[in-house]
Structure 1
Amino acid sequence: MRDGGAPRLRRPAAEPGAPRAILLHGLAGRADVWRPFLDRAPGGWEWWDVELPWAGMSDPTWAHRGDPVELLAAVLDGRHFDLVVAHSFAANLVTEAGSRGWFRELPAVLVSPFYRSRADEFDWSSISYYLNEFHRTFLEAMTLGEAARFPANYRTWMAHRLRDWVGPYGWMRFFDVYLRSPLVDLSTTTAARLVVVGEQDVAARPEDGRALAAALPDGRLARLADCGHFPMAQDADGFSRAVADFLTTLPSERRRREPEPSMELM
């Protein structure tokens, strides 16, 4: 049984007492998806990441173990951060967790989230698309990083392998979270939220992110024109600028506490 790893320090700050940010990957992703951003991440912050229970090709039984919002909360329980940056599926979990009292006072960057403002926006074609075209997100991921050097037919095979690893249970967890998005009470979230959308995203519709930013009490929107579902890798410079601009709007008094002994340093 895999419940996720311990948060890891990936880029330290030059000065002690710096605020601390945690990077959360999406469904079947890996923490390494943030590597292009980490090379450009705003200074003055500690940047941490973590391998979550739904990391790609790890133990797929995470989907048998209850609510993924609670799984995420368990991974970060007792950890103290000043900012959360969450991609895709994890962005939805952070948004929903805010309505339950977790992370609601923690500023967040929500990257490529899935969101509908009304329940009646879901129809049978929505289910058909996300079921039958589910592999397309993983195929896009195969064009990034080390996987990009593989032949196209191998990348296609790997995308289907990731889809099969997620399986029906994982897909149901994902789509159930998406279905719940219109029902989440966003009014209880008090902290600022930056929503980042790639205008070429075929997984999380750009209009999803625009609607979420408009619905949040303190929602801001950054649109990256030439990006798909992975703007932190597809336009790392533009993504980093958007995050840096957002950080300048946060209260300067946000400071981290001393590191917990259980945190793994890398």
Structure 2
Amino acid sequence: MLLLHGLGGNASTWDGFLRGGALGHEVWYADLPWQGSSAEPGWTRRCDPQRVVTDLVNGAAPGCAPFDLVVAHSYAAGLVLAALAAGDVRPDAVVLVSPFYRADPASFDWPTISYSLNDFHLVFVEALRVSGASRPARTRREASHRDWMGRQLRDRVGPYGWMAFFDLYLRTPFLRLDEVRVPVLVLRGDADTASRPEDSHQLARALPNARFASLPGCGHFPMIEEPAEFSRVIGQFLESTWS
């Protein structure tokens, strides 16, 4: 099993899932070039994110074979989806967590861009809240401080990182998903305000061999908020798709 974190995240995203045993699989994970604590401005100019993910899934790491199962979150989920559509990767099964996808290019309007850009820091504020990296905000001042921390993480990802994310999002209506035969679970939290509900529903419908699941009360990081339920849903998916 390969675990791939989203934009500005890191390997600790999966800690709760790993503490639960990760369904008994041998687990590999990576701190990717877009992890929040070490990403440098302009990192997209020094690497091809699509190639990074493709090589990892295909077992390019030393001593590593191609992976059977890939679990990818948010931005990484989009990269895995693009690699599947291009036929560059073919694991036995894929879980796409909190993905960004649109079926119609006309659905990208100016308010969509404004929301994704001007409220980008809110994803990092949520990550801080659910991970316990900052204590619960009991006062307006503490809430303001967590908002400041979210903006610091946003600034670390930088404009290049945001452009890489949104360019990938813009390209999703043109992905050839009709020939993707790999079993896919599209998994989201029903309280996710970063990725729209329509994104996941449309993606599950567009993929020929996909299932959809939503975790109640979870936002953009269901693996952190409800790791046991997250693991259970993935386990059910694997039991029903793998012999």
Is the pair's TM-score, using the shorter chain for normalization, greater than 0.5? Answer: yes
For 1:180 and 1:241, locate their aligned partners in 2 and report how far apart those are by CA, in whole Å: 32
Deviation at 1:41, TM superposition (A): 3.9
Counterpart of 1:149? 135
Percent identity over the alignment is: 48
Question: Could you tell me which amino acid in structure 1 is paired with residue 220 of structure 2?
Answer: H
1:65 aligns with 2:46: yes
Counterpart of 1:13? none
1:38 aligns with 2:29: no
Counterpart of 1:263? none
Checking the alignment, whether the CA contact within 8 Å between 2:74 and 2:98 is kept in structure 1 is yes
Question: Please, which runs of 5 or more residues in structure 2 have no aligned partner?
Answer: 137-141
Number of equivalences: 232
Counterpart of 1:10? none
- Which of residues 203, 206, 210 is equivalent to 1:215? 206
Equivalence map 1:246-261=2 (5 Å) = 246-252=237-243
1:184 aligns with 2:153: no
Checking the alignment, whether the CA contact within 8 Å between 1:98 and 1:188 is kept in structure 2 is no
Equivalence map 1:217-232=2 (5 Å) = 217-232=208-223
Equivalence map 1:1-266=2 (5 Å) = 21-60=1-40, 61-65=42-46, 67-76=48-57, 77-78=59-60, 79=64, 80-149=66-135, 151-252=142-243
Deviation at 1:197, TM superposition (A): 1.1
Deviation at 1:75, TM superposition (A): 4.1
Deviation at 1:59, TM superposition (A): 3.2
Deviation at 1:105, TM superposition (A): 4.3
Q: 1:142 to 1:44 in 2, by over 3 A?
A: closer
Question: Could you tell me which amino acid in structure 1 is paired with residue 32 of structure 2?
Answer: L
The alignment partner of 2:241 has SS state of coil
For 2:95 and 2:230, locate their aligned partners in 1 and report how far apart those are by CA, in whole Å: 11
Deviation at 1:227, TM superposition (A): 0.6
Question: Could you tell me which amino acid in structure 1 is paired with residue 160 of structure 2?
Answer: Y
For 1:141 and 1:43, locate their aligned partners in 2 and report how far apart those are by CA, in whole Å: 24
Question: Please, which runs of 5 or more residues in structure 1 have no aligned partner?
Answer: 1-20, 253-266
Deviation at 1:42, TM superposition (A): 4.7
Could you report, residue by residue, the CA deviation over 1:61-83 in whole angstroms, capped at 9, with x for unpaired residues?
A: 32213542123223444242110
- CA RMSD of superposed structures (Å): 1.6
For 2:18 and 2:67, locate their aligned partners in 1 and report how far apart those are by CA, in whole Å: 17
Question: Could you tell me which amino acid in structure 1 is paired with residue 78 of structure 2?
Answer: N
Checking the alignment, whether the CA contact within 8 Å between 1:198 and 1:224 is kept in structure 2 is yes
Checking the alignment, whether the CA contact within 8 Å between 2:71 and 2:95 is kept in structure 1 is yes
Checking the alignment, whether the CA contact within 8 Å between 2:39 and 2:157 is kept in structure 1 is no
Question: Could you tell me which amino acid in structure 1 is paired with residue 178 of structure 2?
Answer: S
For 2:75 and 2:34, locate their aligned partners in 1 and report how far apart those are by CA, in whole Å: 10
